[in-house]
Structure 1
Amino acid sequence: MTQQIQLSETQTTILAAACSRDDRLVFPVTAKLKGGAVGNVLKSLLKKGLIEEIASKDDATVWRVGEDGTPLTLRATATADAALGIETADDAQLEEAATPAAPRRQREGSKQEALIAMLKRPEGTSIAEITAEFGWQPHTVRGAIAGALKKKLGLEVTSEKIEGRGRIYKIQD
């Protein structure tokens, strides 16, 4: 005898929407929730095994970025079908939808590529050198390093203070 999984109205709404999609993705979430409520509901569904993390094919559906830098999204599982009383989806269809996304590539000649090249130099680079090169404001440089390079691309950017030159940022090859 299987135990019935208790779902709130919000959990049911989110799961039903995901199960009705061909790709079974949870995103976009259609339920109207405020603040961190969506995250809390999704964590609860993950814990119950009703949704699972898979590699994301689309930036619009990213739930979080994995430790290896792979963007992850959420997909309804066969257990979700059972919890909602839906006939089980074909496992082959689920596997087809889960094919991993290609790793992020750098566009040729982009400012991001030039910034990475500056950071990979043996002597590294400073915020002042980057602002002079690109005409950016210092806060934009710090944002690009923290957001685009560290979070999205998963690069390890280190910094150290060097006398006469200030704080120097580097990416080790």
Structure 2
Amino acid sequence: MTKLTETQTIILSAGAQRPDNIALPLPKGLAGAAAKMAVSKMIEHGWLQEVDANLRRGEPLWRETGDGHGTTLVVTDAGLLAIGIEPVVVKTVAAIREHAVKAPPLKPPSQREGTKQALLIEMLGRPEGASIAEIVEATGWMSHSARGAISGVLKKKLALPVTSGKVEGRGTVYKLPA
């Protein structure tokens, strides 16, 4: 196995984890002549390759060419092998990520009738809303469970715009807009 410096290992490992094996950005503290020398040696060994940067996809630039285009650095199959990663594995992971992006969105959760969650939504939909005490009485839940259902299920999971406000004599009242 090839003997790599710590900097070379960091550059190759980071690039192997990025989409399309792009080696940029380089580690913090590596800039100027030191960066140029490290990259030049890695290109000589065949671990990195300079390719045209796709600016539309926001790929980072390594350098600009004289004709107005830019280049970026990509970890080659030899670079992956140098750090002990099989190129086939990286390509498979990239294909899985790409497939996940193209996968159809999951259908939104549906509401079942007659559940305590449906009762809670109905109570919050009333013009006067509902206080925690009223929710506890209607559902039989503990007060912390009622607050958890409002913040976790209704607000986060179902993305319902639940609002709350203090009402004298009732405490905090939760509502859904009409």
* Superposition TM-score, scaled by structure 1 size: 0.49
Q: Select the structure that is richer in helix.
A: 2
- The structure number with the bigger radius of gyration is 2
